Structure 1
Amino acid sequence: MRTRTTTVSTGLVTALAVVLALAGCSNAPDKGRSATAGPTASAPAPAPQGGGAGFDGPRPQDQNLLAWTGDPNDAGHVTAQSTAGVAGRITLVRIVLREQITWSNIWLGLAGLDPNAQLANCYLGVYDAKGTLVASTADISPQLMTDAIAKPLPLAKPFPAAPGTYFIALLLNGNWATNALTLKSTGAGISVNAGLTPPNLRYSSILTGQSSLPATVNLGEQSTATINTGWASQWYAIS
């Protein structure tokens, strides 16, 4: 019995030693790794980006238009087109297109009428950035005598307008009362040209003594001499 007990005890001691040895191996540190490494820490989730686009105001498409020189809600002023100041003189308002369109009409805001005016050879037209006339209306004298509202005036021939810079030209001829025949305009006045020089003025005049819109104009000759007297840039839209 004595010998048997010793043999069993020796076997238990040997088994315990093997277990402890195996446990020691499993806890032995690898090179470059901590022996007591805890759970792997994950990288923090990236912060969400900013919100969507903010409110950017009314767009021409909201009113079934393709482009405009400004929100018509801001065209609260009027510009008096004096016979001495603008008869035979071409005024130019710049407009920049951001996408391809088919340009069929020029809208203007007729603010006031002169029932006694005698008008003839009055036109709207479109010049490209090189000063080439690409489209024009027929004589708009009859439309300037009726309905003081915003109205579309059709081009003689609609044209495909690529993105880029254009100038809407207005030519008036005849006789009328200065403070009767008026057009809707922006409130910026001459400050509309802040930071700009010819041939890139947003509002200017060019040439005198004209009875029709010439095929080409030199945009480098844009002038503010007349409009600096207090006129404001006419409001226009496109459809």
Structure 2
Amino acid sequence: MRTRTTTATNGLVTALAALLVLTGCTASGDGRPAASSSVASVPAQSGGGSGFEGPRPQDQNLLAWTGDPNDAGHVTAQSAAGVGGRVTLVRIVLREQITWSNVWLGLAGIDPSAQLANCYLGVYDAKGALVATTPDISPQLMTDAIAKPFALGKPFTAAPGTYFIALLLNGTWATNGLTLKSTGAGISVNAGLTPPNLRYSNLLTGQTSLPPTVNLAEQSTSTINTGWASQWYAIS
């Protein structure tokens, strides 16, 4: 009986010692257990990687844009015969309500010998109604090849939704003289889209002003697919 008691006691002591080792505890000189050592916790990794979201329009004092201007490293050009009198439309989607005062355009090059008249920027809503337009911007297209704002005749409150920035050019110019900043997307800009929701399109011919309404179902890519696409625009 004594032998069994001793064996059981020894087994209990061994198990207790193993438990103390596993919990990081050691016996101090006065018989009290020492404080367990702490282990630094490792922050959990989030599923979003580094969290970098890229530049936003607000980082450059703008309200919206067709894309990061840093990616607009190409130029787009067309002859006066090819694009003159045609309305070019660029779709932009607003995620929040804004007061729209200016349309920014990246003017890549100018033609000092150009003869321009009846050139406009404007804004159409998703139903094809003209909601704002600039005065004739011909003089501004003749100077300062930079990204710059073109003021609308009257700022307006734009609710969240789809809009189309319209550009109308008229006159004569050297094809590779008057050029706009763009990305290199080319004809792939409308991948997955059909009228009336094309991202880049053209409408009508022989226009000397932006019409009060356009039929977006008639969107065409006749000039878009020949190098007149991917222009960079922004809003302020």
Please classify the TM superposition score into its range, dividing by the shorter chain length.
0.7 to 0.9
Which of 134, 142, 147 does residue 145 from structure 1 map onto?
Answer: 142
Q: Is the 8 A contact 2:203 2:219 kept in 1?
A: yes
In the alignment, which residue of structure 2 is the partner of 1:225? 222
Deviations 1:126-164 (A, max 9, x none): 000000000000000000000000000000000000000
Per the normalisation by structure 2, the TM-score is 0.79
Structure 2: any 5+ residue segments left out of the alignment?
1-43
Q: Which residue of 2 aligns with 1:169?
A: 166
Structure 1 position 51, deviation (Å): 5.1
CA distance in 2, matches of 1:186, 1:201: 17
Residue 98 (str. 1) matches residue 98 (str. 2): no
Residue 50, structure 1, aligned to residue 78, structure 2: no
The equivalences for 1:97-136 within 5 A come to: 97-136=94-133
* Identity percentage of aligned residues: 87
Contact map agreement 1:183 1:234 (CA 8 A) in 2: yes
Q: CA deviation at 1:49?
A: 8.3
Q: Is the 8 A contact 2:75 2:180 kept in 1?
A: yes
- Amino acid in the other structure paired with 2:103: I
Match of 2:199 in 1: 202
SS of residue paired to 1:190 = helix
- What secondary structure sits across from 2:124 in the alignment? strand
C-alpha RMSD of the superposition: 1.5
TM-score normalized with structure 1 length: 0.78
State the 1:56 CA deviation: 1.4
Letter in 2 for 1:232: A
1:88 and 1:172 in contact (8 A); partners too: yes
AA aligned opposite 1:113: I
AA matched with 1:74: D
Looking at structure 1, the residues matched to 47 and 75 of structure 2 have their Cα atoms a distance apart, in angstroms, of 40
Tell me what 2:22 maps to. Answer: none
- Separation in structure 2 between the aligned mates of residue 63 and residue 109 of structure 1, nearest angstrom: 14
Aligned length: 193
1:190 pairs, out of 187, 202, 219, with 187
Q: 1:108, 1:150 within 8 Å by CA — same for their partners in 2?
A: yes
In the TM superposition, what whole-angstrom CA distance separates every residue of 1:44-79 from its partner, at most 9, and x where no partner exists?
xxxx68356821110000000000000000001101
* Secondary structure of the corresponding residue to residue 94 of structure 1: strand
- Code of the residue aligned with 2:92 in structure 1: it is I
SS at match of 1:213: coil
Aligned 8 A contact 1:199 1:221 in 2 = yes
8 Å CA contact retained: 2:78, 2:227: no
Contact 1:93 1:202 (8 Å CA) reproduced? yes
The residue number in structure 2 matching 1:74 is: 71
Deviations 1:156-206 (A, max 9, x none): 000000000000000000000000000001211110100000000000000
Structure 1 unaligned regions, length at least 5: 1-47
Of the two, which has the highest radius of gyration?
A: 1
The separation in 2 between residues aligned to 1:191 and 1:50, in whole angstroms, is 34
Distance 2:191 2:213 in 1: 26
Contact 1:78–1:232 (CA<8 Å) still a contact in 2?
no
Letter in 2 for 1:206: L
Q: 1:63 aligns with which of 52, 60, 65?
A: 60
Answer yes or no: is the 8 Å Cα contact 1:190–1:231 preserved in 2: no
Distance in 2 of aligned mates of 1:107 and 1:81: 20
Amino acid at match of 1:148: A
